[in-house]
Amino acid sequence: MIKNNVMNMSATIQEILELAKKTADKSDVKHKVACILIDDRGNVVTTGYNHHSSRSNRLGRNTIHAECDALSKVRKPSNNLTMFLYRHNNNPIHPCPCCSTLIKAYGIKEVVSLHTMKVE
């Protein structure tokens, strides 16, 4: 599902990467992850980051994944969005099976892992 080809966008990869870094910095989780949703015109639609849920249970705190956080801010499914994922330290990041199902349900056809991008 993750692709490396990116459509012609008004937001540059460098700008998306910088936004992803700032977004990931908000995370209270050890492995900081950001998700940026961009529409087909290159506009940032929303951002999300992984964080601990405000609810806890007997087993501890649950973690909200960056993909779920970003998608929860989108009003309805859309097939004109591209998802960019970023993890601090430029480590590879791929959606978990649960997030992959949600991504598919929202009609997002392209997921780009920013660690694969060569930014100069």
Mean pLDDT of 99-109: 93
Instruction: Give every strand in the sheet of 44-49, ordered side by side.
Output: 44-49, 33-39, 81-87, 110-113
pTM for the predicted model, two decimal places: 0.83
Residue 111 inside a domain? The answer is: yes
DSSP 99: H
Sign of CA dihedral 86, 87, 90, 92: negative
pLDDT in tens, 84-101: 999 988 788 899 999 999
**Domain annotation covers residue 7:** no
Look at residue 59 in the predicted model and tell me its pLDDT.
Answer: 63
Q: Which two tokens stand for residue 49?
A: 């980051």
Per the domain annotation, does 49 fall within a domain? yes
What domain range includes position 40?
A: 13-116
Q: What is the pLDDT of residues 4-45, one digit of tens each?
A: 344 445 578 889 999 999 999 999 999 999 999 999 888 999
Q: Please give the tally of structural domains in the chain.
A: 1
